[in-house]
Amino acid sequence: FEMYLGRITSRSSETGAMRRHPSAHHGWKRAHDRFHGSNYAMSNGGGVVSSSTHLLDLLEEPIPGVGTYDDFHTIDWVREKCKDRERHRKINSKKKESAWEFTKSLYDAWSGWLVVTLTGLASGALAGVIDIAADWMNDLKEGVCLSAMWFNHEQCCWGSNETTFAERDKCPQWNSWAELILGQAEGPGSYIMNYFMYTFWALSFAFLAVCLVKVFAPYACGSGIPEIKTILSGFIIRGYLGKWTLMIKTITLVLAVASGLSLGKEGPLVHVACCCGNIFSYLFPKYSKNEAKKREVLSAASAAGVSVAFGAPIGGVLFSLEEVSYYFPLKTLWRSFFAALVAAFVLRSINPFGNSRLVLFYVEYHTPWYLFELVPFILLGVFGGLWGAFFIRANIAWCRRRKSTRFGKYPVLEVITVAAITAIVAFPNPYTRQNTSELIKELFTDCGPLESSQLCQYRSQMNGTRAYSDVSSQPSTPGVYSAMWQLCLALIFKIVMTIFTFGLKVPSGLFIPSMAIGAIAGRIVGIAVEQLAYYHHDWFLFKEWCEVGADCITPGLYAMVGAAACLGGVTRMTVSLVVIVFELTGGLEYIVPLMAAVMTSKWVGDAFGREGIYEAHIRLNGYPFLDAKEEFTHTTLAREVMRPRRSDPPLAVLTQDDLTVEELQTIISETSYNGFPVIVSKESQRLVGFALRRDITIAIENARRKQEGIMLNSRVYFTQHAPTLPADSPRPLKLRSILDMSPFTVTDHTPMEIVVDIFRKLGLRQCLVTHNGRLLGIITKKDILRHMAQMANQDPESIMFN
Amino acid sequence: FEMYLGRITSRSSETGAMRRHPSAHHGWKRAHDRFHGSNYAMSNGGGVVSSSTHLLDLLEEPIPGVGTYDDFHTIDWVREKCKDRERHRKINSKKKESAWEFTKSLYDAWSGWLVVTLTGLASGALAGVIDIAADWMNDLKEGVCLSAMWFNHEQCCWGSNETTFAERDKCPQWNSWAELILGQAEGPGSYIMNYFMYTFWALSFAFLAVCLVKVFAPYACGSGIPEIKTILSGFIIRGYLGKWTLMIKTITLVLAVASGLSLGKEGPLVHVACCCGNIFSYLFPKYSKNEAKKREVLSAASAAGVSVAFGAPIGGVLFSLEEVSYYFPLKTLWRSFFAALVAAFVLRSINPFGNSRLVLFYVEYHTPWYLFELVPFILLGVFGGLWGAFFIRANIAWCRRRKSTRFGKYPVLEVITVAAITAIVAFPNPYTRQNTSELIKELFTDCGPLESSQLCQYRSQMNGTRAYSDVSSQPSTPGVYSAMWQLCLALIFKIVMTIFTFGLKVPSGLFIPSMAIGAIAGRIVGIAVEQLAYYHHDWFLFKEWCEVGADCITPGLYAMVGAAACLGGVTRMTVSLVVIVFELTGGLEYIVPLMAAVMTSKWVGDAFGREGIYEAHIRLNGYPFLDAKEEFTHTTLAREVMRPRRSDPPLAVLTQDDLTVEELQTIISETSYNGFPVIVSKESQRLVGFALRRDITIAIENARRKQEGIMLNSRVYFTQHAPTLPADSPRPLKLRSILDMSPFTVTDHTPMEIVVDIFRKLGLRQCLVTHNGRLLGIITKKDILRHMAQMANQDPESIMFN
């Protein structure tokens, strides 16, 4: 029926007559009959309309290149998923033909597990290598192990049996630079020499890192999580997860961490794991040829990345689910869990920290917490929220300044400057000089009898009594006070430097600096509460549970709660953060303090701005990311958002059977749209389907090359059968195979909240708007993002890509 | 433009003339202009079309009852979510008006947290009460504590200081029934007396339970998880989560567990928690008035239920995510976690097991596992998968028989029979006589020096040496062999009885019996491997890691792996199951054996049928549940599924402005559809919107009651403005407020896999099918379920509800 209509219309236009709508001449009864007959006639009319889908068409006559994407374009999740199901059906139907096909189907079924296993193995191994190398290079700033150059400080002194436990850091095999060069270990000269060498190495590492990034792989800089979030939401950034990025990121990550800059390796490890996932997915056609399936592997890889970064497999899966992933089916959950476990086990076998744990700062506490302590925990949460909000604003302002001014053109100089300032300021203070992970470990660890840290110089320990229960809850000594001052300075230093560091052109993670800031603040609060409890143990608050000499306050727990709160404030993670920290402590007992702090931190942070740092960086870079967490709360309707607007030229549409190749090419060249709706005829405006610009271009080129008789004035038709043409006209070109005959449509009255929901949940790229069955306009993902930016009083032109 | 068109059409029909399509008389240019002008004219035409959505309309003139659902109907997620956003906007806009409004907005913002806190508190408390009561009543079958009637066996003997540790179960305060009645503790007479009293109490409890369920709350039977899954997917079953169900389920659950039937309390605890969630949600209008929001609370409640059932808060959240929930936004994840934690802490404070743990069978293992052991673990996985597949088939066949034959009409008799058989067969065997949870605990626990169980009667222990390392890996004694036989008999008994028990009209969970079966099988395999390793310690397999006398095999770990495998085979859970068991053991170390077994079990089970027991029961009961896990793999198109079919009468549609009230009522009474598409006119078949049957009926009744002048021949119109009518015609009835002007549409060429995806992800109830802009038909959720059943060669008429 539709074909019939189309033919009449096209014929009448050929004769130059005014077009008439044929159905207008029919009465009610006939229209009704035709309506109810037509759909069956179509599906049973013996080839009038084939019963295969447009996808089957596409597979029957595959045109190379159709169905792929350009760089910086958004994928069509629905199409990708359909393609995958089609491939699956094909393999399944062939399965019984021969043993070879059966093996292929088995390989296909298992490739998902294989690729996540390989990804887990590689991520775990790379994490181990990075941990060991960063440790060694970090110690290189202070000295070398003369007996074995490849040992770091700790390993160097393991072999030594001359030292007592308390002086385990000092051994003759380990030589500081002053000892090596000046031959003396003490005195102002050697201090200056060590200071100089420390700065020298830090600058060298930083310089090398930024040069490598600049020359070989510009995508290797930053934490990578904003980009991975964008990629997982269905955006194409070619090379972002490639082998060069992987190699350079791995090397420069080690250099950047060793340079002493205020950054961590946890975020970049997620990027490294995703690179592994992407590279391994090229081994399996199921994943390499399907952008949606590839993203399942990437989700699993990001879980593996967090798993090795924090030694928290379950936390990694929840991180992938909560923070980075967009499309997360249950199958992916299971595979992510597997990848995270494999990676964790590989890392444990490598044992980079020598404690058979996955992280440096694994802790176990033995004392319970008391209800009153929730007050300082919540205060730490408030601090974390404030820090997060402040950091996001300050860092974004600085990054925007870097982008907009001339200043951003000298990344090497910037890195060197920041590294120099960091090294010069950091060296005098022992808490900033040491590795940030080690600092966190020291702050998390409670004062036990064997603890030699300055933080634990309580009076009883000074007297030589070292029984466990005597250590804590003692009056503090000048040692603790000076440690407090140094911690305060370290806190200010870390806060300032982290703002300027995150966004440099070196790999830089945020987790460790944020946790360090929180841990310092938490430890300070913890010691303060401890001393308060000691001096005022007869207050009604402390009376019941905190006797004199009893071990009632755990300052290490405060450090951990503070770390979680600050990380929560910056990233706005919730469940995954609590689970990650829970896996660090291993006790259900401390979940309540953690939750209280993380929740407070999130609420306080959200009061100043709902975006986490990753969303803020996504917006800064203008990536087309449609956040699943942010609710669309406005009352606009689809017709207010759709294009064309009032002042725009009319919507560029294609008619189904009366365009010539030349007209089609003119439409394509005169517009820059990525796709065009195909309609029955200009006067009826009834929608037939949607054709992508890329596919049309490829199809025309392909036809010109392969099919004879296709000229500029060849008729192009999207219908099942060619329109009736005059005898002398050239051979027509059928483009039905590239036509998407099931475009998504909404009515113009649809509230935008529903449209946004559809885009998010189905992963659409565009949606057509109709009114009472007629095509009115189109809404693309970019239109939605622009509209959302406009509604939030932001610059809608900041959405840069398609 | 549309209105204009509508008016012309209706006027022409009034005059009885043949209808003409007005646009057919216009040329290309004019049609084009009109097309591109019309949408702007509409949105700016000063009231020609109001800019408010249909929802705003709905709120402006609220008709009581519109927007609610009938019992056994499916909710429209999109509409519910829009309603909620509207409510939120309203509260937000009023917030600044007064302090009272501000307080109300705060209350509204916090009500989500309040309701999950209350749910967590109530679930934890109820779980504690159920645990304690079931324990006491279970011991009542064997005897009473004379000194204090309300003590169970263990508590009774705590006070006794006469007994040694080994004989801690025997104390003078505790009297078995034989001692009480016959005055003697030993001998065949007392055995028979105890046997009789055991059976008597079991029958009494079972009888009481089934009578209470039958009389007061028929919904209280079964595990409840299939129904909760259905409810969470958007189905209404009034009273299923009501206060009566809660009360009766709590009481009868205690009775059913105490009666010794082969059932557990874990599944019903999820139902109990969901009842709590539902009841508390009535305190908050945000949740009570919105079916979609209420389901968020229920998701959190089910997490709390699993959290208290297994003492696994994270596992509970993952269970809710993986197994029961349908719509699970991240906000719900966070709140579920909170609810699960609160519930776990309440239960821990109640401390029902006296071990300050959340579960009876918390275990800690100290020996590592070896790679070779993966072989028996995988074998256990195979066993679990086979058991699961067998159980599902057997149980479903039995339940179907119960449904279809006369046999199902005597539920009380059936329960009594099964309880009698269970009690009579169970008593002689110590492993079946004891509480199933305690049996699992005993099987999970490794043989330590203090273990008095018959399972641990190794030779060294017989000799009196009780050093830890000597206990295990010893030659077994006749005691162990007899325990093996008893375990084998217990295994067969449990397998048979569980099949007949699940589905009885008493509350019955599957988790504990499944775990018990797996634990028995696992322990048997574990002891077998242990003995193998002892007698063949020079085999190459054992040589390297299993020396003579060394503690190399942990039979308790085998029991745990077997339990996980069997539970996985029955429910087909994966991640959540591993995490639940991981939380029971607390060691990352044993995740790999667990994963290997659970994965094998799932694959083996899936080879025999992809459904888990809950899905199978959902299908058995014909609930309209669209499983998010099951992939739709067929190539059918929307037009093959839509109604009307070829032989059906034409689609019942309403025209937008030329029906009278009488005609409308005729259409409604002659059909049984739940909604009707509204079109511009019969000849154009262009879609305007969708109106629900319930809403139309309510609106007409409401108008007749409230508006004067509405008669049978009043014109009904869905347009913005009334059609022009003859002067003597009665007052027309405007129904625009109940019209959904943004119905979901797909084209007839849309593959069904996409349609199914849209239904799942957006939670639709129906979708309209168009072809080139004309309305062709409708697809409802039921049509999809029928089609899927047909494709799977099942009876499509088994889908019973709307």
pLDDT tens figures, A102-154: 998 888 888 999 999 999 999 999 999 999 999 899 888 888 888 777 788 87
Residue-wise pLDDT tens digits, A5-21? 333 333 333 333 333 33
CA-based nearest distance B644→chain A, Å: 9
What's residue A690's pLDDT? 92
Q: How far away is chain B from the Cα of A613, in angstroms, using its nearest Cα?
A: 18
Query: Does A19 reach chain B within 8 Å, measured CB to CB?
Result: yes
Confidence band of B370 (pLDDT split at 50, 70, 90): confident
Mean pLDDT of A75-88: 87
The pLDDT value recorded for residue A20 is 36
Superfamily in which the A116-350 domain is placed by CATH: Clc chloride channel (1.10.3080.10)
Examine the pLDDT at B465 and tell me if it is beyond 60: no
| pLDDT higher than 60, residue A779 | yes
Q: Which of residues 772-791 of A touch B (CB under 8 A)?
A: 772-777
- The whole-angstrom distance between A99's CA and the closest CA on chain B is 20
Please tell me if residue B367 touches chain A, with a CB cutoff of 8 Å. no
- Flag whether residue B81 sits within 8 Å of chain A, measured between CB atoms: yes
pLDDT at residue number B62: 63
Q: Which of A292-301, B169-178, B210-219, B471-480 has the lowest mean pLDDT?
A: B471-480
Q: What is the mean pLDDT of residues A791-798?
A: 77
- CATH, domain B638-798, list 3.90.79.10, 3.10.580.20, 3.30.230.10, 3.40.640.10: 3.10.580.20
* Residue whose token pair is 């199951």: B577
Whole-number mean pLDDT of chain B? 82
Tell me: pLDDT of A466 over 70: no
Contacts of B687 in chain A (CB under 8 A): 747, 772-773
Summarize the confidence of residues B432-450 as an average pLDDT.
82
Residue B645: closest C-alpha in chain A: A40
- In chain A, what residues touch B4 (CB-CB under 8 Å)? none
- Find the residue in A nearest to B644 (Cα): A36
Q: Which of A60-69, A79-88, A287-296 has the lowest mean pLDDT?
A: A60-69
Q: Cα–Cα distance between A730 and A704 in angstroms, integer?
A: 13
Interface test with B, best of A772, A778, A791 (most B CBs within 10 A): A772
Query: Each residue of B572-592: pLDDT tens digit?
Result: 988 889 888 888 776 667 888
Reported as a pLDDT band with limits 50, 70 and 90, residue A169 is low
pLDDT recorded at residue B78: 86
B687 and A313: CB-CB below 8 Å? no
- The DSSP bridge partners found for residue A174 are A145
Least confident of A480-484, A751-755, B28-32, B203-207: B28-32
Query: Is some CB atom of chain A closer than 8 A to the CB atom of B330?
Result: yes
| A87 at interface of B, judged by CB pairs closer than 8 A | no
* Nearest residue, CB atoms, A341 vs list B21, B42, B595: B595
Return the CA Rg of chain A. Answer: 32
Q: How far apart are CA A137 and CA B229, in angstroms?
A: 55
Work out the average pLDDT over A395-418.
89
pLDDT digits (tens, 9 = 90+) for B648-687: 888 888 988 888 888 899 998 888 888 899 999 888 888 9
Report cis status (omega within 30 of 0) of the bond before A644: yes
Distances (CA, A) of A612 to A274, A395, A608, A795: 21, 12, 11, 19
**Cβ-contact B348, B358 below 8 angstroms:** yes
B6 has a pLDDT exceeding 80? no
Nearest Cα neighbor of B733 from B45, B11, B162, B61 is B61
Residues B525-540 have pLDDT tens digits of 998 888 888 777 777 7
- pLDDT reading at B42 higher than 60: no
The rounded mean pLDDT for chain A is: 82
A50 to chain B, any CB pair closer than 8 A? The answer is: no
Say whether pTM exceeds 0.90: no
| Torsion sign across C-alpha atoms A501, A503, A505, A509 | positive
Instruction: Establish if B238 touches chain A: CB-CB under 8 angstroms.
Output: no
* B188 close contact with A: CB closer than 8 A: no
Q: Is the pLDDT of residue B22 over 70?
A: no
| Confidence band of B623 (pLDDT split at 50, 70, 90) | confident
Of the residues A76, A575, A632, A680, the best mutation for testing chain B's interface (the one with the most B CB atoms within 10 Å of its CB) is: A575
B88 contacts on A by Cβ (under 8 Å):
633
Stretch B104-127: mean pLDDT: 93
B interface test, pick of A51, A657, A684 with most B CB neighbours within 10 Å? A684
Min distance B32 CA to chain A CA atoms (Å): 7
- A313 touching chain B per CB within 8 A: yes
Model confidence at B463, pLDDT cuts 50, 70, 90, reads very low
Contact flag A635-B23 (C-beta cutoff 8 Å): no
Instruction: Give B773 or A539, the one with higher predicted confidence.
Output: B773
Q: Which of residues 90-109 of A touch B (CB under 8 A)?
A: 92
What pLDDT is stored for residue A405 in this prediction? 84
Question: SS3 string of B754-767?
Answer: HHHHHHHHHCCCEE
Q: Is the pLDDT of residue B37 over 70?
A: no
Q: Domain B371-621, CATH 1.25.50.20 — does that match?
A: no
The answer to whether B36 contacts A682, with C-beta atoms less than 8 Å apart, is: no
Say which residue, B366 or A290, is predicted with more confidence.
A290
pLDDT band at B384 (very low <50, low <70, confident <90, very high): very high
- Percent of chain A scoring above 70 in pLDDT: 85
Q: What is the pLDDT of residue B796?
A: 73
Residue A63 has pLDDT above 80, yes or no: no
Instruction: Write out pLDDT tens, residues A304-336.
Output: 999 998 888 888 998 998 888 888 888 888 899
Interface residue of B53, B342, B633, B688 to substitute, partner A, most A CBs within 10 Å? B53
CB A184 within 8 A of CB A178: yes
Residue A231 Cα distances to A236, A306, B749, angstroms = 6, 17, 30
Q: What pLDDT is attached to residue B199?
A: 93
Please state the domain extents for chain A.
116-350, 371-612, 638-798
**Own/partner pairs, A177-180, CB within 8 angstroms, 24+ separation:** A177/A142, A177/A143, A177/A144, A179/A143, A180/A143, A180/A144, A180/A146
How are strands ordered across the β-sheet holding B675-679?
A: B654-655, B675-679, B687-692, B739-740
Write the pLDDT tens digit of every residue in B691-712: 988 888 888 888 888 877 788 8
Same fold across A116-350 and A371-612: yes
Considering only CB atoms, B32 lies closest to which of A582, A650, A770, namely: A650
- Show residues of chain B in contact with A682, CB under 8 Å: 28, 31-32
Rounded Cα distance, B116 and B624, in Å: 27
> What are residue B751's DSSP bridge partners?
B637
User: Which residues, at least 6 apart from A491, have a Cβ–Cβ distance to it below 8 Å?
Assistant: A517, A520, A521, A524
CATH classification of A371-612 is 3.40.50.2300, yes or no?
no
Residue A532: pLDDT band (50, 70, 90) is confident
Selected residues 630-659 of chain B with any CB under 8 Å from a CB in chain A: 631, 633, 635, 637-640, 644, 646, 650-651
pLDDT at A450: 58
Tokens at A254, concatenated: 């080690």
For residue B539, count other CB atoms closer than 10 A to its CB.
Answer: 11
**A628 lies within 8 A of chain B by CB:** yes
Q: What percent of chain A has pLDDT over 90?
A: 31
Provide the shortest C-alpha distance from residue A682 to chain B (in Å). Answer: 7
- B87 CB burial (10 A radius; 0-12, 13-18, 19+): middle
Q: What is the full DSSP assignment across B170-182?
A: --TTEEEHHHHHT
Nearest neighbour of A749 by CB, restricted to B78, B741, B773: B741
β pairing state of B174-176 and B143-145: antiparallel
Least confident segment among A115-119, A144-148, A492-496, B375-379:
A144-148
Nearest to A82 among B43, B51, B753 (CB): B753
Report pLDDT digits (tens) over B271-306: 999 999 999 999 998 999 899 999 999 999 999 999
Q: What is the pLDDT of residues A27-62, one digit of tens each?
A: 333 434 333 433 333 333 333 333 333 443 444 456
